[in-house]
Amino acid sequence: MIDDVRIQDRGAVRRVLLHSGKVHYDLLGELEKRQDTSIALVRLEQFYPFPEEQVRRVVESYPDAEVVWVQDEPENQGAWPFVHVELGRVIPDRQVRVVSRPAAASPAAGSSKRHATEQTDLIARATAE
């Protein structure tokens, strides 16, 4: 688990974006462009065994923040189905919502133009004021 080194005041963070993989670079690019440190980026790079203590410690270090899982894949695919169960068990007192593509039978959008539009929308929803 990799916590956000940009954050100086954890109490000022309003949202924690838990995520994994390349979506990190799109999220980071958007937040750096806006110079936004009210959103923390926390990368989860190991799913099994699930890093329970690290997750609990990092999430609790942002006491007033909304917790959001962000993924490129459709909601019914990717890590979310597994991570949702694990987060509910590890941090039961925190509501976790997901920002992803809508549930779908296929992980691919079907065209590069549509994929780019969906990716832009996903990043905008994850980092919305």
pLDDT band (50, 70, 90) for residue 7 = very high
pLDDT band at 109 (very low <50, low <70, confident <90, very high): low
Alpha-carbon span 123 to 23, nearest angstrom: 9
Residue 96 contacts residue 88 (beta carbons within 8 Å)? yes
Cis check for the bond before 81: say yes or no (omega within 30 of 0): no
Judged by phi (left if over 0) then psi (alpha if -120 to 50, else beta), residue 21 lies in left
Domain harbouring 101, CATH code: 3.40.50.11610
Residue 5 domain-assigned (yes or no): no
Does some domain include residue 117? yes
24: tokens are: 């990190």
Note the pLDDT tens digit of each residue in 42-86: 999 999 999 999 999 999 999 999 999 999 999 999 999 999 999
- For the chain, the average pLDDT equals 95
Q: Is residue 19 part of a domain?
A: yes
Least confident of 13-17, 48-52, 95-99, 117-121: 117-121
Q: Which domain holds residue 103?
A: 10-126
